[in-house]
Amino acid sequence: MKKYFVALALVLALFILPIKSSAQTKVHLDLFFSPTCPHCQAEEAYLSDLQTKYPQLEVSKYDVNESVNQDLIVTFYNKYNVTSDQWGLVPANFVNDKFFIGFDSQIQDYLTAQLTGSPNVTTTTASSTSPTSMTVNKPLNINVPFLGRINIAGINSLFLAIILGFLDGLNPCALTALGFLLALAAATGDRKKIFWIGGTFVVTSGLVLFVFINAWLKAFDFLSQVKFLTVIVGVLCLIFAVIILNEYLKNIFCKLCDENGDKKMIVRWQRKLFGFLTELSQMDKSLPIILLGVAAVSVALNLIQLFCSIGLPLAFAKVLDSQHLTYWLKLPYLLVYVVFYVLNQAILFLIALFTLKATHIEGKYFKYLKLASGIVLLALGIIMIIRGF
């Protein structure tokens, strides 16, 4: 009889103890990460190994670059009473009634304690902040009349590249210079000359812009630890927006065409370069020499114009930088911006090439496009200042 009860006890233990142990050690972790964050990658590798050892560990992963997850993480911040200075840091871990910001020994010790049921393992009671954690966009929403609630932190980089590139490309001074150059070349009736001269001007314009924005991206990466950098850039965007809108109100859409432009040194430089283009097109020199001169003048004109209309490329570079992508992931957006920047020049170039006639965009359209550029830049400046705080 005694042996019977011992055997029965052993059988019951086989069924009861595993169930009890499983109920005690089952752990669920919510992990918010960024694909470009090295600390996130290290934690994901660690969790993968930990799940192999402890199958009862459940992990739900959320990419903070996706707008839906930016809204979700705010819910977790509020639920776990995460202080505002820790918002936007990854990796962010939420497990049981605790949260851990960053990946270090504290989150590892806590998970080990929960999975093994070891009460002697030291755990934190609030959070663990890794000083090398990567900052991501703080989710921020505003209510826009007729449009509803919009997350301004998750600005679509592709859409912005297209819009800002197109507006930036409607550069009255550069388009006027190109149009005049094409008119001189078209008068010769030589399509080959139009192709090489116009093509050189357009390609050079795109290359100058590419180098310019790329330099801003490198600068922002170098200054990433500067406090309120986004606010500073936002203020600069507001200043440039005010300048653009002031020119709109004064009906100045092309400084080259402004009667009083000679009073400004930059405009005088532009007009000298413009005159040099005329001389180049009439030179009785070999085509390579003419093209070299056209490229040099194009670089100079575009550099001057970039410093005159620095706002849009500056704003785009900062928004792209805030996405925390690797350089090779930023590159496609940069190329899209450049393509749409040279689009208008390319259209004028192709018209001249196929019709042997140069065309131009009427001044009134430049005026309205300047208004649009000013408004867009103003809005981006305000958004950056809000996000920076």
The pLDDT of residue 68: 81
- Selection from 49, 48, 78 nearest residue 61 by Cα: 48
Alpha helices in the chain (DSSP H): 2-25, 38-53, 67-79, 105-116, 157-169, 172-186, 191-222, 229-249, 265-282, 287-308, 311-322, 327-355, 363-388
What is the reported pTM? 0.59
Long-range contacts of the stretch 108-113 (C-beta < 8 A, 24+): 108/46, 111/27, 111/29, 111/50, 111/57
Distances in Å between the alpha carbon of 378 and those of 126, 152, 269, 341, 374? 41, 14, 28, 20, 6
Q: Tokens 């085509």 map to which residue?
A: 287
The pLDDT of residue 61: 93
The pLDDT of residue 135: 41
The pLDDT of residue 385: 83
CB 178 within 8 A of CB 349: yes
Q: 10 Å Cβ neighbour count for 66?
A: 11
Q: Which residues contact 185 (CB under 8 A, 6 or more apart)?
A: 193, 194, 197, 198, 281, 352
Q: Which residues contact 33 (CB under 8 A, 6 or more apart)?
A: 40, 43, 44, 61, 62, 63, 64, 90, 91, 92
Helix (H, G, I), strand (E, B) or coil at 156: coil
First to last CA, the chain: 77
- CA angle in degrees (0–180, nearest 5) for 220-222-224: 65
Q: How far apart are alpha carbons 285 and 289 in whole angstroms?
A: 7
The pLDDT of residue 247: 79
The pLDDT of residue 59: 93
DSSP state of 150: E
The pLDDT of residue 109: 87
- Token output for 356: 């042997």
The pLDDT of residue 131: 36
Q: 10 Å Cβ neighbour count for 60?
A: 10
Question: What residue spans in the chain does CATH classification 3.40.30.10 cover?
Answer: 26-135
Homologous superfamily, domain 26-135: Glutaredoxin (3.40.30.10)
The pLDDT of residue 149: 46
- Token output for 256: 């080259």
Residue 13 burial by Cβ neighbours in a 10 Å radius (0-12, 13-18, 19+): exposed
The pLDDT tens digits along the chain (389 residues) read 555 555 555 555 554 444 444 445 688 999 998 887 778 888 999 999 888 888 899 999 998 878 788 888 888 988 898 887 778 788 899 998 888 988 888 888 888 888 887 754 444 444 444 433 344 444 444 444 444 444 444 456 788 888 888 888 877 666 666 666 666 666 667 778 778 877 888 888 889 889 999 998 888 878 876 778 888 888 988 988 888 888 788 876 655 555 555 556 656 666 676 667 666 666 666 777 778 877 887 787 777 777 667 888 888 888 888 766 677 778 888 999 999 988 877 887 777 777 766 666 666 666 777 788 888 888 888 888 887 65
